């Protein structure tokens, strides 16, 4: 196959597909004036993060940090296996043979834990303030969780627990400048955007008060958005090729923080709300990664089977458990004889869009094209209510399970369970 670029036209992708249907892609002469393709530029050097090993019929090539701009990876005329972890920003020239090309974008980092609420100098877990956010993702790292607030500067008696940090966004698998020239042969190309990082856990509430909202746990962070599968140009080459492009999955929402404990005079706090299964630092919620992005182009010249699919929405985080009571609670808590409620579960993220790019043909290519929208994420379960303490006390009720996703729509989170009652028999004994 020649690497010389040729003019191409966009395929008309029908809005609905039947399994096994084969759709003719228009020839280059139909709308040639509407498109001008970017010429494939020769790379300057081989990527430094790649290793090569003979496999008996070709080579195995593994690139641990993708292929940077201006660099290339060349296969052989045999059956090569080329695997990238990280974005293709440069070029792959696979050569002849029945090659396998697998590219996966970098995963976003997880969000950090929110700081705990505290009273004055009685702050607990002082070192857990969300500073661990983003360690797993590098440039795509999750954000640090918020610090808990000192009760001396907070309207809340127990101090305000911090929200968990949002997960980082997944990286694209093939960047805008990335090019795959698969060459002759029956090739298999699998492209997947990086998954988003999970949201951080909310901080735990400080000591309780009579207001149900006081001493509440912090909300879980939102899951990071999945990365786009393809933003570049894929030339599968001559032959019967299988091309699968999928957007990255969203990260899951973080678990809500636990409500602060009750005291002899004050009730415990409500659990924090679970984070949503998408949106990261940018939106309250959001869809999974796009399969073939707005600049993504697939040029078919053979008898190809092409699937583009959106990423999955993340699961909503579980709501935090309500705080537990103190055995020393007395009848002075009459009217506030229940402990904190569990937090509501987070909402699942929606499924990602399959294709907003171009699927094109040259030289009368005829291919089966499958467009699959991404599934939504399930809603998170509600947290259990806090337990009462002492003789005659009751346990908190179990939180309700979240709803399952329906097609591409994320499920609603479950309601948190009601808090249990204090031990009134123990209080009466002490007061007698």
Cα–Cα dist 32/421, whole Å:
75
- Closest-CA residue to 114 (of 272, 269, 226, 251): 272
Category of 94 on φ-ψ map: left (φ > 0), alpha (ψ -120 to 50) or beta: alpha
pLDDT value at residue 208: 62
pLDDT value at residue 157: 45
- Closest-CA residue to 214 (of 266, 254, 285, 283): 266
Q: How far is CA 290 from CA 246, 293, 311, in A?
A: 7, 6, 6
| DSSP category for residue 215 | T
Cα–Cα dist 204/218, whole Å:
6
Instruction: Give the position of tokens 């607990």.
Output: 124
Cα–Cα dist 254/202, whole Å:
7
pLDDT value at residue 391: 80
Other C-beta atoms within 10 Å of 283: how many? Answer: 14
- Whether 339 and 388 have beta carbons less than 8 Å apart is answered as yes
* In 292-343, beta strands by DSSP E: 297-300, 305-309
- Whether 419 and 338 have beta carbons less than 8 Å apart is answered as yes
Strand pairing category for 59-63 and 81-85: parallel
pLDDT value at residue 243: 98
- Range 30-43 burial, b when 16+ CB lie within 10 A, else e: eeeeeeeeeebeeb
Other C-beta atoms within 10 Å of 285: how many? Answer: 25
pLDDT tens over the chain, length 432 residues: 434 444 343 444 443 333 444 444 444 433 333 333 333 444 445 667 899 999 999 999 999 999 999 999 999 999 999 999 999 999 999 999 999 999 999 999 888 888 887 654 444 444 344 444 444 444 455 555 555 554 444 444 455 688 888 898 999 999 999 999 999 999 999 999 999 999 989 888 887 665 556 688 889 999 999 999 999 999 999 899 999 999 999 999 999 999 988 877 778 889 999 999 999 988 999 999 999 999 999 999 989 999 999 999 999 999 999 999 887 665 556 566 788 899 999 999 999 999 999 999 888 778 899 999 999 999 999 999 999 887 888 999 999 999 999 999 999 999 999 999 887 655 555 455
- Closest-CA residue to 266 (of 335, 341, 342): 335
Query: Exposure of 74 by Cβ count < 10 A (0-12 exposed, 13-18 middle, 19+ buried)?
Result: middle
Contacts of 126 (CB under 8 A, 6+ apart): none
pLDDT value at residue 164: 87
- Closest-CA residue to 410 (of 283, 322, 307): 283
- What are the structural domain ranges in the chain? 47-109+169-202+214-329+337-379
pLDDT value at residue 143: 58
pLDDT value at residue 401: 97
Helix (H, G, I), strand (E, B) or coil at 71: strand
Tokens encoding 132: 């661990």
Cα–Cα dist 293/173, whole Å:
11
- Whether 183 and 96 have beta carbons less than 8 Å apart is answered as yes
Category of 86 on φ-ψ map: left (φ > 0), alpha (ψ -120 to 50) or beta: left
């Amino acid at each position: 196959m020649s690497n010389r670029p040729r003019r191409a036209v966009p395929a008309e992708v029908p809005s609905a597909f039947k399994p096994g249907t084969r759709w003719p892609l228009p020839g280059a002469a139909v709308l040639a004036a509407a498109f001008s393709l970017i010429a494939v530029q020769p790379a300057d050097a081989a990527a430094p993060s790649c290793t090569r090993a003979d496999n008996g019929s070709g080579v195995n090539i593994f690139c641990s940090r993708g292929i940077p701009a201006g660099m290339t990876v060349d296969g052989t005329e045999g059956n090569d296996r080329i695997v990238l972890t990280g974005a293709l920003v440069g070029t792959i020239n696979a050569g002849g043979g029945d090659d396998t090309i697998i590219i996966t974008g970098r995963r976003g980092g997880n969000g950090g834990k929110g700081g705990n609420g505290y009273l004055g100098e009685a702050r607990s877990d002082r070192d857990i303030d969300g500073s661990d956010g983003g360690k797993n993702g590098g440039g795509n790292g999750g954000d640090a969780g918020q610090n808990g607030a000192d009760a001396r500067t907070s309207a809340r008696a127990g101090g305000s627990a911090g929200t968990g940090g949002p997960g980082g966004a997944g990286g694209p698998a093939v960047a805008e400048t990335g090019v795959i020239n698969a060459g002759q042969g029956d090739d298999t190309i699998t492209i997947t955007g990086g998954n988003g990082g999970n949201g951080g856990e909310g901080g735990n509430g400080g000591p309780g008060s009579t207001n149900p909202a006081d001493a509440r746990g912090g909300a879980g962070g939102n899951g990071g958005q999945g990365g786009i599968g393809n933003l570049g140009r894929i030339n599968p080459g001559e032959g019967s090729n299988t091309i699968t492009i999928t957007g990255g999955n969203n990260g899951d929402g973080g678990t809500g923080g636990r409500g602060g404990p009750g005291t002899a005079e004050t009730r415990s706090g409500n659990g924090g709300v679970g984070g949503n299964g998408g949106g990261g630092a940018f939106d309250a919620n959001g869809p999974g990664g796009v399969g073939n992005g707005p600049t993504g182009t697939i040029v078919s010249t053979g008898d190809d089977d092409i699937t583009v699919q959106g990423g999955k929405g993340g699961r909503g985080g579980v709501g935090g458990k309500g705080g537990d009571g103190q055995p020393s609670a007395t009848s002075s808590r009459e009217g506030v004889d229940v402990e904190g409620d569990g937090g509501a579960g987070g909402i699942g993220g929606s499924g990602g869009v399959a294709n907003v790019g171009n699927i094109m043909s040259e030289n009368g290519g005829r291919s089966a094209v499958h467009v699959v929208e991404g599934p939504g994420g399930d809603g998170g379960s509600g947290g259990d209510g806090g337990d009462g303490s002492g003789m005659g006390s009751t346990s908190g009720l179990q939180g309700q399970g979240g709803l399952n996703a329906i097609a591409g729509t994320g499920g609603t989170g479950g309601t948190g369970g009601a808090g249990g009652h204090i031990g009134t028999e123990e209080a009466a004994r002490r007061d007698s």
